[in-house]
Amino acid sequence: GEDVEQSLFLSVREGDSSVINCTYTDSSSTYLYWYKQEPGAGLQLLTYIFSNMDMKQDQRLTVLLNKKDKHLSLRIADTQTGDSAIYFCADKGPRGSTLGRLYFGRGTQLTVWP
Amino acid sequence: DGGITQSPKYLFRKEGQNVTLSCEQNLNHDAMYWYRQDPGQGLRLIYYSHIVNDFQKGDIAEGYSVSREKKESFPLTVTSAQKNPTAFYLCASSIGSGGARETQYFGPGTRLLVL
């Protein structure tokens, strides 16, 4: 299946780390993505990870992938109030798919308190 | 600047009226997508197109129609048959090469409200 699950809310204090979790069901997923959506705006690509990788780091962002458990996480170090947004996990279909379709979770609302 | 534009930012629909949402991209992407977003929901795929003059239904196509006459344009019409059209509509595009990594890039969205 193509179900992607995320918890809906996360609150952290400014300066702490945030960890947003995601689970997916399609074991043949090739790429997994994290998008950020600020209020009233479109989705902004944050990062992605290929399914043969365990970890990817990009400045304050660290993505961890546990393919055995079909679990993806996004860690934001030194979280700032500007990081407050909705974060979507998305799953790309099987390798070689011509569809290019992404399956999205419902999004995690991250609130950062000063 | 390369990117995706959507217009208008806000759109109001009267009962029984068809309205059209615009989506334009200058990224030279072959593939384009329309999503609907409701509060607390993920993105649901309405229609997609991988090439000019061809498009396919997504998961919630009923009450919507699209056209793809030009590579850079993929307008969405919300017809009177769509009984609950109030939502945030997002357009996206990707290279469309069919490769493993088909990153989608999104426009700023159009909020449709019913009068």
pLDDT number for residue B115: 83
pLDDT tens, position by position, B4-53 = 999 999 999 888 899 999 999 999 999 999 999 998 788 999 999 999 99
The alpha-carbon gap from A105 to the nearest alpha carbon of chain B, in Å, equals 5
pLDDT number for residue A96: 47
CA A104/CA B28 separation, integer angstroms = 24
Angle at B43 between CA A95 and CA A87, to 5 degrees: 85
Whole-number CA gyration radius for chain A: 14
A41 neighbourhood in chain B, CB within 8 Å: 108-109
A87 in contact with chain B, both atoms CB, cutoff 8 A: no
Inter-chain CB proximity A100 and B98 less than 8 Å: yes
In eight-state DSSP terms, residue A81 is G
pLDDT tens, position by position, B65-102 = 999 999 999 999 999 989 899 999 999 999 877 665 67
pLDDT number for residue A25: 83
Best B104, B111, B112 member to test A by mutation, with max A CBs in 10 Å, is B104
Q: Is the dihedral of CA B50, B62, B108, B71 positive or negative?
A: positive
The alpha-carbon gap from B82 to the nearest alpha carbon of chain A, in Å, equals 22
pLDDT number for residue A1: 41
CA A59/CA B69 separation, integer angstroms = 41
pLDDT tens, position by position, A10-39 = 999 999 999 999 999 877 777 899 999 999
Q: Which of A30, A96, A100 sits opposite B96 (nearest CB)?
A: A100
CA B11/CA B19 separation, integer angstroms = 8
**In the predicted model, is pLDDT for residue B113 greater than 60?**
yes
64-83 in chain A: CB under 8 A from chain B: none
pLDDT number for residue A87: 97
Inter-chain CB proximity B108 and A35 less than 8 Å: no
Q: What are phi and psi for residue A83, nearest 5 degrees?
A: -85, -10
Best B37, B45, B105 member to test A by mutation, with max A CBs in 10 Å, is B37
What is the residue-averaged pLDDT of chain B? 92
Residue type, A17: S
- Segments of chain A scoring below 70 in pLDDT: 1-2, 93-100
B90 neighbourhood in chain A, CB within 8 Å: 42-43
Pull the structure tokens for residue B19.
């309205």
The alpha-carbon gap from B26 to the nearest alpha carbon of chain A, in Å, equals 17
16-55 in chain B: CB under 8 A from chain A: 31, 40-43, 45, 48, 50
Percent of chain B with pLDDT over 90: 77
In eight-state DSSP terms, residue A67 is T
- Decide if A89 contacts A104 (C-beta within 8 A): yes
